[in-house]
Amino acid sequence: NQHGGEGRLSEKFAGCMQHITGDDVRYLHFDFHHICGHIHFERLAILYDQIEGFLEKNGYFLLNEKGEKMKEQLGIVRTNCIDCLDRTNVTQSMIGRKMLELQLKRIGVFGAEEAISSHLNFDECYKILWANHGDDISIQYSGTPALKGDFVRYGKRTVQGVLKDGWNALARYYLNNFADGTKQDAIDLVQGHYIVAVSRDMTPVPRKGGLEAIASFPVALTVVLISFWFATMSVKQVGSGYKHLFFSLVWAGISVAVAALVRANGRIFCNRPRLHKPRS
């Protein structure tokens, strides 16, 4: 979109593209959330109308039954979004569907007015294939299946899909903040950015002093939940004495204070890469 951090990224990306756009490279901005919202993904047809000429011009690769080249693909479509995942999958599934229909018409499988949606079994197989493809990439990248997958899988937004997206969004938030550091260490090892040598051990980067030396999100969360539980129990006993009201306020205060501390120092409580980086 064109607001906040994503808007700034969009502006910078568009600025970079200005230097290379021309007859061979075309850049098109499409605000998915503004145009499609959370449920009207059929409005992607607006995007297709804008790029249809480009797709037909650049075509696809085609051989005849003798193995002779009849047609050559001259270009590609790259879809960029803030995390190149969910909106990308929905958009590319639309482009893939349109290009497959063009190919099937070219080889005579489809008539001029036929579409994948005209064949229910074929349509269902296509949707499931692409949805599974998006889920596999999303799990590898974010740890959860793709969001908006119900549209790709069923062709429409569903209540179950919206609820599932909410759950996956929460899971992604947790994994992004409290599991990615360990994952990054593993990626650095696999890609060779951290080289294990006899002369160098794999001692984690030591924490700094102060709050960072004792910061632990699981511990903080446990304290908040236990304090909230004690506060609730004390409130139920207020009728038998004012001391319960006092204890309720104390436990509630502890719960709020710890939650505020975590919120104010969120980065310290996050899971970050811990391995020493190799010296250049």
Flag whether pLDDT at 198 surpasses 60: no
What pLDDT is attached to residue 280? 46
Place of tokens 């499409």: 30
Q: Nearest-CA neighbor of 83 among 5, 11, 199, 194?
A: 5
Q: What is the mean pLDDT of the chain?
A: 83
> Which helix (H) or strand (E) is 143 found in, with range?
none
Would you say 149 and 39 are in contact if contact means Cβ atoms under 8 Å apart? Answer: no
Would you say 175 and 143 are in contact if contact means Cβ atoms under 8 Å apart? Answer: yes
What pLDDT is attached to residue 48? 92
Flag whether pLDDT at 276 surpasses 70: no
Residue 116 DSSP label: G
Flag whether pLDDT at 279 surpasses 60: no
Would you say 252 and 228 are in contact if contact means Cβ atoms under 8 Å apart? Answer: yes
The CA-based angle 13-266-214, given to 5 degrees, is: 140
**CA of residue 245 relative to chain centroid, distance:** 45
Q: Which residue has the higher pLDDT, 20 or 239?
A: 20
Q: Global pTM? A: 0.66
Point out which residues pair with 71 in neighbouring strands. Answer: 62
Flag whether pLDDT at 277 surpasses 80: no
pLDDT in tens, 214-272: 777 788 888 888 988 888 888 777 666 677 788 888 888 998 998 888 888 877 878 77
Residue 203 DSSP label: P
Domain ranges of the chain: 31-178, 216-264
